[in-house]
Structure 1
Amino acid sequence: MNRRRYLQALGGVGLVAAAGCNSPDRSETEDDGNTRTTDSVSPQRAENAEREDLETAPMDEDRRAVDRAAFDTVVDMVDDADCDPTGEDACDEQLRSAASDGHLLEFPEGTYRLDEFSRFQDLDRIGIVGDGDVTFAIPAETNRLLFDFDQVGEVLIEGIDIDITADQCTVGLRMMCDAFHVQDVEYVGRGNHDDTSVIDGFGVGIMDENGEGIIRNVTAKKGSIIGNYKGGNGRVGVWTTNSHAGTLWIEDCHFEEFGNNALYCSRCKGDVRVVESYFRNNNVCAIRISGKGSYATRSTIEVDMDEYTGPRGGFETGFNTRAVIVEQGNVGPKPPGAEIRDCEIHIKKTPRCQAAVNLGPQGRTLTVRDTEIRMDVDGSPAVLRSRPGSIPWKQNQRVPPTPHWIALENTAITGSARGGAAVYLVESSNSVIQNCSIEQTGANRYGIRLVNSTNLLIDGGAVTTSQFPILVDSNRLLLLNSVEVTNEPELKATEVDPSQSETFDLRLRQPMLREQHLQMVRLPETQEGRTLIGMFRE
């Protein structure tokens, strides 16, 4: 039976670790600080107040980056341009001929065959929309862009299904523009091709720093073959190019089964904001974002390979089904500060998941709050701060500048995973774990594992595990305040008066576990009188 023991401290300071211890390259600059201190659990909240307002407000479905009313001329693509709505005859030439500046190309209900690639350049404004049930049918043996909007001011795409059900068939849309709006678009069929590189669903770059792009209610339920990473050239759902400088909103979208990230949006200096979207069974990860100004909120991410019905294979190399990755490459300037807010993440069954939420070697900081994470995959952390470092096979990657912290706030971590630790932080100094509930029921599971992480605060919350709730490597001291810890069997410790001396070495013994050290240390004189308990491996 689980029994609870409270390890309490007097006063308001929390837990602290002692000091002294197919695409182009899918990059980063120094900033002037953004450091976390133990006096301020969440210092970035005040400076990010404007983004919090955006996140907490309901999604405004009437907000549009490009509106139909902005177009000078509406072209009926059947009556005016002579396109065939039955799909018998291709209408690529008619589409390109009608695509003049300021024209909104409106397709009446029907199926339209598009056999060729079309590029639109040097236009101020162009739109392609469906009126009713409109499908663009793509022929077999296709692996290319469908439309390329190159150096276009504003682009509108709306109300269209893209049929890629033919054999060896996939296409994508590329938008390099100042603003765009994509809404009510679905890829029907699996984006699959045997080529060594497969075209992405969307390649976007908002060139204007003040520009905005919206991808709303876009669906791809069979994005590609999940094991087809193809050495980094597998199909991505949304890829932000290095030129992306504005703000990209991904709202109310549904992406599944992509082989190379559902959203690969981390190698750019622009912002990426994911709102109220759903992701399932995407390889590498579902959401991949960078620093300050980028976040995911009110979204659901699931991994359950028992629910995957597509072709299998490719699980031996390049397979890693994470929910979220935060990284920053050498594109800048973009200060740290990515956030995950009010999301639900469940990693149920998969051959490999490095972590549910991973602050990668190239990542700087990450805040996760008001989020539920369930991890059922043995050995995999729910939250991982990978050791900050370079990527050996990418010469333009390097150790990211500090800070390197993670903040977990009001977050619940559950699940049946065995072995490993629920939260695993490596070289993550100045991190914060505040008011979090960690309950991992699997055998031989630690709660929080810290490696070479100093000045760490744990404040409030509860930790329930089968092994030690908190484990510190490299003899780094751990100090605890008002944290409820539970494990099975019951944690037992001797009460010690910390005023007797500076350091106490005690013995902590549990059945089926070797002896561990429990160390109690008195705080500096300015914090005298608070009882602090730390635990570390021999």
Structure 2
Amino acid sequence: MSLNDSRKRSIDRRSYIKGCLVGLGTLTVAGTSSATALEDQYETVVDVVEAGADPEGNESITPVLREHVGDDTLLEFPEGRYYMDEQLRLTNFENVGFSGHGATLVPASYYEFDGPQYRLFRLGTHEDPGRNLLFEGFDVDQTAEDTGIRVISAEVEDGLSVRNVTVEGRHDSGTWGPGLFNITDPDGEGHVYCFFADDGADHIDETPNAGNMWRGATGFAVDQHHRGSLIFENCRLGDYPDNGLYASNETGRIGVDGGTYQNSGTASIRLSGSTGRVEGATVVVDENSHDSAGQHAIRLDDGEHELEDITVDVPEPNGDAIRIMDPVDSASITNSEITVGDEPNAAVRIDPSAGATTIDDVDIDINGSANAVRILGSDAGAVELEDVHITGDASGARNREAIFCERNGCEFVGLEVEQLGPDNRRGIDLRGSDTIITDSEFETTDTAITLNDADGVTLEDTTATVDVDGYSLRILDSTGTVSRTNNDLPDGVRDDR
């Protein structure tokens, strides 16, 4: 998806917000249509160069910023390079803006940074948050050796707007990643737009801060102090050793609209909180630069989450593409594409205590010997698959079936499963009760449908063919009642009961 396409989708932000996050309301962001319109929103406007900041990158500008920043104040940065060797800290503020116009921030290296070596801008804390913060229009040059820093730590009650920030150079200092964002008021709102940090970060063991952190930097962090609603729109993150976008909040809402996230440790997008929605994003795992033990493209840890119109491309799997963890209350994946390369990792794994899950209109191409959809547990909540298409060259050497389901009360409607890989690749293995398969088609190397310790199974309007050996349907002796209506099972039924 091009940036222009993403912008077209986001012209009407109010419509997006209403559709994406329950209870989010409308987000009012400081206007950026012209410099005059922006300046009119502040009582005081300061040109930092006129105020004494060095635009040539020779002297630190932090003392100048500290002198002039304050409530109802906009700091404007003309074109230039602005060196910073200590953080600017501001708390309990009202209506503050930082606006760059061809401005590049140049952080000092790890060894030259004065004071806490973690942030350029600390704007609000969870104990003393600000309100109405604009931060826009900056490049951050961290291409120098042993350089990398949290560009902005923003904790505000309401009215956060971070826009058009590009970090250039790999984060190799071992300190915190480029952004932390918290909305501390449950009714507050924030928006992070076009924040790019494509170059990622080194593992902590390869940096001057070795031994002082675990793994290293996270790309975007949202922590336990987040309470409100926060959208990341059209952002990009490269490979970070901890996580990419990591929302570890217990409350609050997170939206991810578009953008690209790739190759981070643990997960490139990892969400907790009460409500989350990822729409139109692309998530890629094609490299393991940190020797991570696992790299999920998307991991859902807790709460209620919706994934829609996403592309998950995992040509070099090192973990399940989408992992739905036990504390998750409910999840849905709709109108999406998932591709998994030749390693034994699932496209979607639903853990034993994860809640009700819906997978609708999803194409899965799986090429490793794994379940395309792995559904664990029995009574945590029904799982529904509708119009799911499973293709690929996966073998049955490790995991035989494309779909493995232990849950009760599940429904499989309109499936198209084509699994013609080697080593007895099969279609679906059902082990729960009160399960329905209807209006579906299976074409597999080995047995298409297996009922193993299942009960109350309904199979109707379904075609199941075998390409090499096996049965259209096999019913093991531990299985209870099975109802079959209007099916096409040309390779026979083996009933061991």
Q: Where in structure 2 are the equivalents of 1:37-186 lying within 5 Å?
A: 54-55=19-20, 64-67=28-31, 68=38, 69-79=40-50, 81-131=51-101, 133-141=102-110, 142=113, 143-150=117-124, 151-172=129-150, 173-178=152-157, 179-186=159-166
Partner of 1:28 in structure 2? Answer: none
Aligned AA (1:153): R
Q: Retained in 2: the 8 A contact 1:264–1:287?
A: yes
Of 405, 410, 421 in structure 1, the residue corresponding to residue 356 of structure 2 is: 405
* Deviation of the 1:103 alpha carbon: 0.8
Q: Retained in 2: the 8 A contact 1:477–1:535?
A: no
> What secondary structure sits across from 1:458 in the alignment?
strand
Calculate the TM-score normalised by the size of structure 1: 0.73
1:480 aligned onto 2:430? no
Residues 325-379 of structure 1 show CA distances to partners (whole Å, capped at 9, x for unaligned) of 1112xxxxxxx430000111110014x22x1111013323210000000111421
1:360 aligned onto 2:330? no
Mind listing any 5+ residue stretches in structure 1 that lack a counterpart? 1-49, 57-61, 329-335, 389-402, 494-507
Partner of 1:424 in structure 2? Answer: 374
Calculate the TM-score normalised by the size of structure 2: 0.78
In structure 2, distance between residues paired with 1:98 and 1:72: 13
In structure 1, distance between residues paired with 2:480 and 2:433: 12
Q: Retained in 2: the 8 A contact 1:426–1:450?
A: yes
Residues 480-513 of structure 1 show CA distances to partners (whole Å, capped at 9, x for unaligned) of 21111110257599xxxxxxxxxxxxxx999677
Aligned AA (1:461): L
In structure 1, distance between residues paired with 2:484 and 2:149: 66
> What secondary structure sits across from 1:365 in the alignment?
strand
Which structure's relative contact order is higher, taking Cα pairs within 8 Å and 6+ residues apart?
1
* Deviation of the 1:477 alpha carbon: 6.8
Q: Retained in 1: the 8 A contact 2:284–2:313?
A: yes
Q: Where in structure 2 are the equivalents of 1:493-504 lying within 5 Å?
A: none
In structure 1, distance between residues paired with 2:448 and 2:374: 21
Partner of 1:296 in structure 2? Answer: 278
Aligned AA (1:110): G
Partner of 1:271 in structure 2? Answer: 253
* Deviation of the 1:126 alpha carbon: 1.2
* Deviation of the 1:459 alpha carbon: 1.0
In structure 2, distance between residues paired with 1:52 and 1:481: 36
Of 383, 408, 427 in structure 2, the residue corresponding to residue 469 of structure 1 is: 427
CA 1:254–1:515: 2 relative to 1, 3 Å: closer
Of 424, 441, 444 in structure 1, the residue corresponding to residue 393 of structure 2 is: 441
CA 1:154–1:52: 2 relative to 1, 3 Å: closer
> What secondary structure sits across from 2:19 in the alignment?
helix
Residues 117-150 of structure 1 show CA distances to partners (whole Å, capped at 9, x for unaligned) of 121012112111112x111111112541111112
> What secondary structure sits across from 2:182 in the alignment?
strand
Partner of 1:35 in structure 2? Answer: none
C-alpha RMSD over aligned residues: 3.3
* Deviation of the 1:442 alpha carbon: 1.9
Aligned AA (2:297): A
1:213 aligned onto 2:190? yes
Q: Retained in 1: the 8 A contact 2:266–2:294?
A: yes
In structure 1, distance between residues paired with 2:495 and 2:177: 47
CA 1:369–1:219: 2 relative to 1, 3 Å: same
1:386 aligned onto 2:351? yes
Q: Retained in 1: the 8 A contact 2:204–2:215?
A: no
> What secondary structure sits across from 1:93 in the alignment?
helix
* Deviation of the 1:262 alpha carbon: 1.1
Q: Retained in 2: the 8 A contact 1:103–1:127?
A: yes
In structure 1, distance between residues paired with 2:436 and 2:277: 31
> What secondary structure sits across from 2:54 in the alignment?
coil
> What secondary structure sits across from 1:424 in the alignment?
strand
CA 1:514–1:410: 2 relative to 1, 3 Å: closer
1:347 aligned onto 2:321? no
* Deviation of the 1:205 alpha carbon: 1.1
* Deviation of the 1:479 alpha carbon: 3.7
Q: Retained in 2: the 8 A contact 1:239–1:264?
A: yes
In structure 2, distance between residues paired with 1:242 and 1:380: 30
Percent of aligned positions with the same letter in both sequences? Answer: 20
Aligned AA (2:276): S
